[in-house]
Amino acid sequence: MQPDYVVVGAGSAGCAVACRLVEGGSTVALLEAGPKDTNWRIHVPAALRPLLKDPSVNWNYQAEPVASSAGRSISLPRGMVLGGSSSINGMLYVRGNAADYDGWAQRGCIGWSYDDVLPLFQKSETYKQGGDATYRGGNGPLQVEDYRTILPLTHTFVKAAQQAGFPLTPDYNGDLQEGVGYSQMTRRGRFRGSTAQTYLRAMRDNPKLQILTGAKAGPLIFEDRKCIGITYRQGGQNKEIRPGREVVLCGGAYNSPQLLQISGIGPAAHLQSIGVAVRHDLPGVGSNLADHFGARLKHRVRGTTMNQLSRFPHVVPEIAKFFLFGNGALTFGVTSAIVFCRSREGLASPDLQLSFTPATPVDMGQGDLEKEPGIQVTAIPVRAESRGTVMARTGNPDDAPSISPNYLGDENDANVLVSGVEITRRILEQPAMAAVSLGEYMPGPEVTSRDEIMQFTRETGGTIHHPVGTCKMGDDPASVVDPRLKVHGLEGLRVADASIMPTLTTGNTNAPTIMIGEKCAAMILEDQSTA
């Protein structure tokens, strides 16, 4: 079968693109480098942590060491499996702030204002708690719901944030984001609600959708300036597929620019330096990399945390709760409450996210949990101004790209992060938390000055796993795609994933990435109907 469209990457955006195109009557081939999502850990929310280092479902990228993050090579996990990173993420559903999308529109991204994208968020979700129908959806494939089981320490944190002056926000995906609120998650019942288990699951028997797993994408195929197909490797064999209409890249902020570059599309000087023939000099490919970078504060506490519940014998009744009732500790994600706030007066919208977790991982959120009861709050500058790059090392798709996020390279990001640590400390000093805290041990009470805090963040901070921007949307010379997500100067080729974001959104990026997939499919079908 020659499909109408080839979608490369079955992640958060790719699944949405493919399924909506099929709904619209098109035939689609969906290529995924990784396997089917059969690993049981993918589906049990609290079993996430080993997946962040598991090479069977994870690209396991590493950042280039830079001085601004103390010369460390920081781990950069990305999903390589049906569902992509939505199969290995913390399941948080955060749309962002209306100002994010209005800012995109002001940058020349016509059709991407908040009023433009809100209907697509609504179309994508079914919010179990209902919410305000002005903002929330009730008939979409994504099942979004509040936490099923909330530990008392989460309530304590929310109370402390209110004592510190932050109002309770019942729904941060509704009319108001700022304040403190309980986390929302993407689920399928008690299980993880990845895009593979929501969008794809609904289309699994549709003959118009062909899903190719273990299909590692190679260079794109061109006739003059028109993309007519893509090469890939599957089962040890080199293959190609040529759609009747378009190729849509949905590989994410690391893989999409690499794929363009090995196909001869990108900064000419760099392509020549790695021995790739220049097909189209497009300087912005691989630049403008932005990511959320956070610093973690930890307290020993009195009370029940995931540190205890994840271990024998406490885990035994939690397993029973999960399978018998669909609740308990195994349904937990990574963050149970969030504060969106401003680092200083005079800002138009929040520039900080403070994420509360009733657990303390041993290292950077990816390792085992500590044995003693503890809580963690991660301070995150959400409007990061630091910019890095993703550059192919060679023309071989099997060679991982060079990723230089340049974390805290912009001094403003570092200052906002320090302010985030100070605000977090103020919350944790309130009476509600003081009643259960046994004291801060990371960074510790000896770290007090802004210079000391800044050094702490550079030496211990890490990615929040939200890379965006490397195929930036816009109409300026540094942009890669136009507002209809077509690659500038080429035909038959679009990019639809987090790489097209001109700037980071205020919060976790999975929901906005799914929205991008929804919008891409809608624009393709619109173009198709008027052709």
The residues assigned a catalytic role are 466
**Residue of 371, 368, 381, 359 lying closest to 299 (CA atoms):** 359
**Residue of 159, 179, 169 lying closest to 434 (CA atoms):** 159
Strands (E) located in 152-254? 179-182, 184-188, 191-192, 209-212, 216-223, 226-234, 237-241, 246-249
Does residue 379 sit in helix, strand or coil? strand
What single letter denotes the amino acid at residue 29? A
For residues 39 and 48, give the distance between their C-alpha atoms in angstroms, rounded to a whole number.
11
For residues 247 and 223, give the distance between their C-alpha atoms in angstroms, rounded to a whole number.
13
The pair phi, psi for residue 316, each rounded to 5°, is -60, -55
Place of tokens 């040890």: 236
For residues 252 and 142, give the distance between their C-alpha atoms in angstroms, rounded to a whole number.
20
Q: Edge-to-edge strand order for the sheet containing 184-188?
A: 125-127, 142-146, 184-188, 191-192
Q: Across the strands, what pairs with 75?
A: 62
Show Cβ contacts of residue 528 under 8 Å, excluding neighbours closer than 6 positions: 24, 26, 245
CA 159 to each of CA 63, 339, 441: distance values in angstroms, whole numbers, following the listed order:
37, 12, 22
**Residue of 474, 154, 82 lying closest to 332 (CA atoms):** 154
Radius of gyration of the chain, Cα coordinates, nearest whole angstrom:
22
Helix 114-124 vs helix 510-530: crossing angle, to nearest 10: 100
For residues 169 and 258, give the distance between their C-alpha atoms in angstroms, rounded to a whole number.
40
Q: Across the strands, what pairs with 61?
A: 76
Cα separation of the two ends of the chain: 23
Q: Counting beta carbons within 10 angstroms of the beta carbon of residue 250, is it exposed (0 to 12), middle (13 to 18) or buried (19 or more)?
A: buried
Q: Which two tokens stand for residue 333?
A: 């994600």
Show Cβ contacts of residue 191 under 8 Å, excluding neighbours closer than 6 positions: 43, 44, 45, 197
Q: Counting beta carbons within 10 angstroms of the beta carbon of residue 310, is it exposed (0 to 12), middle (13 to 18) or buried (19 or more)?
A: buried
Sign of the Cα pseudo-torsion (96, 99, 102, 103, in order): negative
The DSSP 8-state label assigned to residue 69 in this structure reads G
For residues 55 and 373, give the distance between their C-alpha atoms in angstroms, rounded to a whole number.
30
